[in-house]
Every structure is written in structure tokens, then in C-alpha cells.
Amino acid sequence: MLAGCQKPDPRAAGAPIIYTTLPVVQYVVEDIVSPHVEVRRLLDPGSSPHSYEPVPSDARSALDAVLIVYASRNLDRWAARLAIVESLELLSLVPDSLRYYTDSAAEDVDPHFWLDPLALRAAVERLPSAICPILPEQCSRFTAAADSLAEELIHLDSTISDRLKQTPPSALVLATPFFGYFARRYDLEIAASLGRGGAVDSSPRQIANVVQRLEASRQPIAGVVTEANESQAASQMVADMLKTRVILIDPVGGSAGRQSYNDLMHYNLQQLLEDS
């Protein structure tokens, strides 16, 4: 479940093991397969999936898995290289109509699809069909759990939408496009983006031009949105120049108070609305 009820420990029964990469991927997979399957995670809280390099112990651990589930080949594809058995990219379960492209090139799909609860719902609905061939004896339970989670995601989407309608933020500057799914779902205005992928890659001149354009427009800016587990130096510089704040969004979870998908999304909503 989204908020997480206590479930039996699958290790006690020698359950099959699925490895995941990001905490948020673990949350979703656990909601569907626990307690019948033990779900383990490779990435520590606070680590960046953009820069993470697997170590030999990761490969040894993966030998125990029946499946490795990762988010996207544009983010944590390194996990697929560890898989002696099957690996599954969650983004592959999201229909093209729900994907967010940073430009017209097909390879520039942003990997952070779960920041849109309804894009995640689409993946959740298809996840049992990917897992059932590997663990067919639990298929009906996986399907029922996925159906329940899909309904909870509809409710979460409605809750977030209502909060943002009550207190809509001003336009946002994105350090990187990672927040595009959330912004598109909830019709938030993006005034500018400073980079692509997992880092601000605009030159100092390009950043200065963005700031000058925004200053000339006199457009109110709610803040510069950046990933909490990435460098905030460039974002802080732009925020200072625009006399606004840095909005730290946690896209992956794992830290205290963000131990479920529901908690993670509510945390990020609060970060966004803090000074609105």
C-alpha cells in the first residue's frame, strides 16, 4: 500500500528475491509483490542514480535475484548489466502518450515518469504481466495488489491536484527537466530550464541570458527547482540573481519521512508550496 502497512517478513520463508535500484522503484515493486517476494535495493538513500557506479558486491548480490527492476535506460540502466537473469525497465511499461520528452528526439524522454502518479499508474497496471511469467504461482495476488495500488494512485493524483488548485505556485525555473512530468500533470508554468539530463549544462553566458530574459519579463518566479541529491550551486546562483529560492525536490526517496511513494510525493508537494 502507498503509506505502507506492516507485512510478514518474506525472508523467513526463503522467498524469491527481486532487486531494484532506486528507493521509489522498491516502494512500487514491494507494494505489488510483498510478502510473497523479498525486494532488495542496490542504491543507498541520497546517492545519485546519474553518477552511481556498481561495485563487485552488487554483481554478487544480483546472482540471488529472479529479476532486477530499474527505472529507465536513461537513468539507472547500469542495473541491467548486473542481471544474470531477467531485467525490467519500468519506463517501458509507460505508454508513449504519457512520456515526457525534453525535445522532439525520441531518445530524449525524461526518465522520472513516477513524478506523475498517473504515468506510474499505467506502469503499475502492466507490471504483473511482466512479473507473472517469472513467478506464475503468485500471479493472481500480484494482479490484485496492482489493481489496489492503481486505485490509490488515482486518489493521490486527485489530492495533489486539489492542493495545487488551492495554492497555485508562480512560474518555475527547472535546473534540469526532471520535474517535467509533475509540471505537465498539474499544469505548472515552466519559465526556463537550465540543463538536460542530471546536471545543469548551460554555459555561464546561457544562464546569464536566461536570467536577463526573466528579469526583463518581470514574471514572478516561485523558485528554481532542483534535485535534492545533485549539486545546487548553479541553482542557488540563479535563485539569488532572481531574488527567489531554491526548491529542493527529492525524486527518488529513501530518506527519513520519505519511506513510501505517498510520503515522497507529499514531501515534494510541501517543498513546492512552502512559501506559496
Confidence band of 83 (pLDDT split at 50, 70, 90): low
The pTM of this model reads 0.89
CATH number at residue 219: 3.40.50.1980
The verdict on 49 and 149 lying in the same domain is: yes
Q: Among 109, 128, 160, which residue terminates a domain?
A: 160
Q: Average pLDDT for residues 122-140, to the nearest whole number?
A: 96
Q: Are residues 152 and 175 in the same domain?
A: no
Q: pLDDT tens-digit profile of 3-48?
A: 544 454 444 447 899 999 999 999 999 999 999 999 999 887 777 7
Q: Is the peptide bond before 117 cis (omega within 30 degrees of 0)?
A: no
Name the domain boundary from 160, 193, 220: 160
Q: Select from 265, 273, 270 the least CA-distant residue to 2.
A: 265
Cβ distance 115 to 176 under 8 Å?
no
Q: Which domain holds residue 186?
A: 167-273
- β-pairing, 38-41 vs 17-20, is parallel
- Same domain, yes or no: 148 and 195: no
* Residue of 1 and 229 predicted with greater confidence: 229
Same domain for 135 and 223, yes or no, is: no
Domain match, 197 and 139 both: no
Residue 125 forms part of a structural domain: yes
Residue 115 lies inside a defined structural domain of this protein? yes
* The pLDDT of residue 4: 46
Q: What is the pLDDT of residues 152-186, one digit of tens each?
A: 999 999 999 999 999 999 999 999 889 999 999 99
Neighbours of 224 (CB within 10 A): 28
Please indicate, yes or no, whether residues 63 and 147 belong to a single structural domain of this protein.
yes
DSSP letter for each residue of 235-273: HHHHHHHHT--EEEE-SS--STT--SHHHHHHHHHHHHH
Average pLDDT of 43-71? 82
Q: Are residues 42 and 114 in the same domain?
A: yes
Mean pLDDT, the chain, integer: 88
Domain count within the chain? 2
- What pLDDT shows up at residue 12? 45
Phi first, then psi: what are they for 51, rounded to 5°?
Answer: -115, 0
Q: Is residue 17 a part of any domain in this protein?
A: yes
Q: Last residue of some domain: 113, 145, 160?
A: 160
Q: 91-118, pLDDT tens digit by residue?
A: 999 999 999 988 755 568 899 999 999 9
Question: Are 105 and 17 found together in one domain?
Answer: yes
